[in-house]
Amino acid sequence: MVKTILGALLGAILFASHGAAADPADAAREVYRQFAAAQNARDLEQVRTLLLNSPTFLWVSDGKSIWGRDAVLRRMALFQEARVWRVDPDLDRSVAVPVGADAAFLHLPLQLNLAFTSAEPEQLHFLVSVLCVETAQGWRIAALFTTTENDR
């Protein structure tokens, strides 16, 4: 009986310390928050760790389909050459749609401050949709879809 009680207590402590499985909506917001922070830090190695390592990783940007994590990182590296590069996602206005216990679709507005020259940065407004999936290594971005926001 004592062993059973101790076993139950230990199980409860371990469960509490690891927490329940992440809510897919919260996990998607968190992985995207980390992704934006890594871009703003111009840390493409950290960005790499947040993207699903798969040839089917897809980023649709400016009417182009970019397939695979390495191709996406090469394109992002070009943008990172800008004098000013800052993404400001509006996570408070994001909408997360759980697709299952291990996947969620996140949709949000984003402002990009961008300048390649010494001129004042442009403030570009985008809508971003992101498919996030849980892997053995944690939550990762499996697909990105960006388009210009036209509601302004």
Q: Is the pLDDT of residue 18 over 50?
A: no
CATH 3.30.300.180 fits domain 21-148? no
Long-range pairs for 48-57: beta carbons < 8 A, 24 or more residues apart: 48/73, 50/140, 50/141, 51/140, 51/141, 52/133, 52/135, 52/140, 52/141, 52/142, 54/142, 56/142, 57/141, 57/142, 57/143
Average pLDDT on 77-91 reads 89
Lowest mean pLDDT across 15-24, 69-78, 116-125? 15-24
Summarize the confidence of residues 50-56 as an average pLDDT.
96
pLDDT at residue 83, rounded to an integer: 85
Of residues 142 and 85, the one with the higher pLDDT is 142
Read off the pTM: 0.81
Quickly state the pLDDT bin for 152 (edges 50, 70, 90): low
